[in-house]
A and B are shown apart, each in its own frame.
Chain A
Amino acid sequence: NAGVTQTPKFQVLKTGQSMTLQCAQDMNHEYMSWYRQDPGMGLRLIHYSVGAGITDQGEVPNGYNVSRSTTEDFPLRLLSAAPSQTSVYFCASSPESGNTIYFGEGSWLTVV
């Protein structure tokens, strides 16, 4: 009963470092997405994918990169971490209808 699994749960990075947040889902959902959540800002969409090999930008894509080589996995890469990227990140997946979204437990990232 895994659903959407994110790793790591907590991470501290130094400015300029790169890292990858991993996301995997076992529900065979076509749609996957990454959000960041900041106090007072709500959920903001970073990148999304409507299927393997297809990705697109969301509201706040700068500084992030994604790829979707399989239906199950949707990693988020921080290319050169900045303190402004300190946030909690949620991966989500959705069946084709897109009317219900299932979120992971979150990844807390601090950039110092």
Chain B
Amino acid sequence: QKEVEQDPGPLSVPEGAIVSLNCTYSNSAFQYFMWYRQYSRKGPELLMYTYSSGNKEDGRFTAQVDKSSKYISLFIRDSQPSDSATYLCAMKAAGGSYIPTFGRGTSLIVHP
């Protein structure tokens, strides 16, 4: 079992839908949780970053962490075709190595 699991998709939704992207993990030491968006033939870009449990909102994006279930989510409201990309989760323990553990990414397609 990989340390971080992420369904590769593709996830196809109509424009305007609410999208839920998820990752599960096994390492209870993870404290920092990140979401990256990667457009085709581009480098990943940091979308959101949260520490420990709870929610964080940024415009149409909400990141949610449930440490008791070892489950994180990224919600996209009012999805747009421009949201079509691969979304990677990443997580890291506090202190120690700075190297995060990445999920393999979920491909999202938002069709008009």
Contact = CB atoms under 8 A, between A and B. Distances in A.
Contacts of A50: 98
Nearest to A103: B43
A90 interface: yes
Interface residues of B, number: 23
Contacts of A105: 42-43
Interface stretch (B12-20, B61-69, B72-80, B99-107): B99-107
Contacts of A98: 92, 97-100
B37 to A, nearest CB: 11
A64 interface: no
Interface string B25-55: 0000000101010000111111001010000
A17 to B, nearest CB: 24
B88 interface: yes
B21 interface: no
Interface centre among B41, B46, B49, B98 (most CB of A within 10 A): B98
Contacts, number: 52
B5 to A, nearest CB: 11
B32 A99 contact: yes
A90 B43 contact: yes
Given A99-B49, A106-B41, A48 B105 contact: no
Interface stretch (A35-43, A65-73, A78-86): A35-43
A100 B99 contact: no
Interface string A84-103: 00000010001011111111
Contacts of B8: 40
Nearest to B46: A100
Interface of B: 8, 32, 34, 36, 41-46, 49, 51, 88, 90, 92, 97-100, 102-105
28 contacts: A31-B98, A40-B104, A41-B104, A42-B88, A42-B102, A43-B44, A43-B102, A48-B99, A58-B99, A90-B43, A90-B44, A96-B98, A97-B98, A98-B97, A98-B100, A99-B32, A99-B34, A99-B49, A100-B34, A100-B49, A101-B46, A101-B90, A101-B100, A103-B44, A103-B45, A105-B42, A106-B42, A108-B41
